[in-house]
Chain A
Amino acid sequence: MADGWYQMGVKNFGLGNVAWVFDASPTDGENDNMKCGLVDTADYAVNLATHEFRDASGLAAGIEETSGSMTLVSAAADGVLDASDVTFVGTAGDTCEGILLWQSKGSAATDRLLLWWDASAGLPVTLGGDVTVQWGNTGGTLLARL
């Protein structure tokens, strides 16, 4: 596989269903509430072309570590997205080969899948200590680009 956008995630951006905007107190249901997780691909086989929601087959079981609401940096004028790095403290579980980012609407059936990484340095990761997901810090790319 490769890193990239879920196709339906891009569509949901286009439809105005996703807002990449800083919010001091994001809550489930709001369009600017994003979360990320470490995923064991032994449970979940990613399909960027067809998967849209977090209830995709095997995904609930495959997410070994889940973040709370992410601290977003409001999208830049040129479509660049950024967020604060995310640390999972005291991890436990199976080895994870993927990182998933989704919009949290409050349930697996409504949470929208946005981005997937499985080809980056540091993956796969063996759980057992602290794991930090450091979004890109290269000018012009950062977390992702629309």
Chain B
Amino acid sequence: MPSPRRRELEPITFVSVERVFQPQVKVRATRDLNGWADRQKRVKWHIGSGRIGYLDSDVARQFQVKGYVQILEGDVKPVSDDERAEILSTMTVIGLGGNGDG
């Protein structure tokens, strides 16, 4: 993991999902999605809510279960109940509730 000093010195570069994942499944994002493409090099992937992109089938399958994307074209393997529970166990939600009223 980069040191705090390194984080301070190196800005993050954002790339499209197609630069990171094999383009096997066409999806539409249902929220703004962000993830590390290469944490050491400070590169992240990003796809905005409502935008269309291409993911590899395993990532698309997991994101579909989590409700992050709608699959538009392409096939993904079915998900068992146990696997679904395992996938969903990795999610945390911070609910802000409009507290930013100023």
- Interface residues in A, total, Cβ within 8 A: 57
* Residues of chain B in range 47-92 having any CB-CB distance to chain A below 8 Å: 48-50, 66, 68, 89-92
Check if B48 sits within 8 Å of A68, measured CB to CB: yes
* Residues of chain A in range 54-78 having any CB-CB distance to chain B below 8 Å: 60-63, 65-71
Q: Most chain-A CB neighbours within 10 Å: which of B33, B46, B96?
A: B96
How large, as a class, is the contact surface on chain B?
Answer: 35 or more
Shortest C-beta distance, B15 to chain A (Å), equals: 9
Number of CB contacts from chain A to chain B under 8 A: 149
Check if A122 sits within 8 Å of B93, measured CB to CB: yes
Check if A10 sits within 8 Å of B102, measured CB to CB: yes
Cα–Cα, bound, A146→B101 (Å): 7
Q: Of B14, B31, B66, B102, which contacts A4 at CB under 8 A?
A: B102
Q: Most chain-A CB neighbours within 10 Å: which of B14, B46, B100, B101?
A: B100
On chain B, the residues within 8 Å of A131 by CB distance are 92-94
> With A4-B100, A84-B48, A146-B102 in contact, do A67 and B93 touch (Cβ < 8 Å)?
no
Q: Which residues of B contact A (CB under 8 A)?
A: 1, 4-5, 7-8, 11-12, 14, 31-36, 39, 44, 46, 48-50, 66, 68, 89-102
Q: Besides A84-B31, A130-B91, 14 other CB < 8 A contacts? A: A4-B100, A67-B32, A70-B32, A87-B68, A90-B35, A120-B94, A129-B91, A132-B93, A136-B95, A137-B98, A141-B97, A143-B96, A144-B98, A145-B100
Top 4 nearest A-B pairs (CB, nearest first) are A141-B98, A136-B98, A68-B46, A144-B100
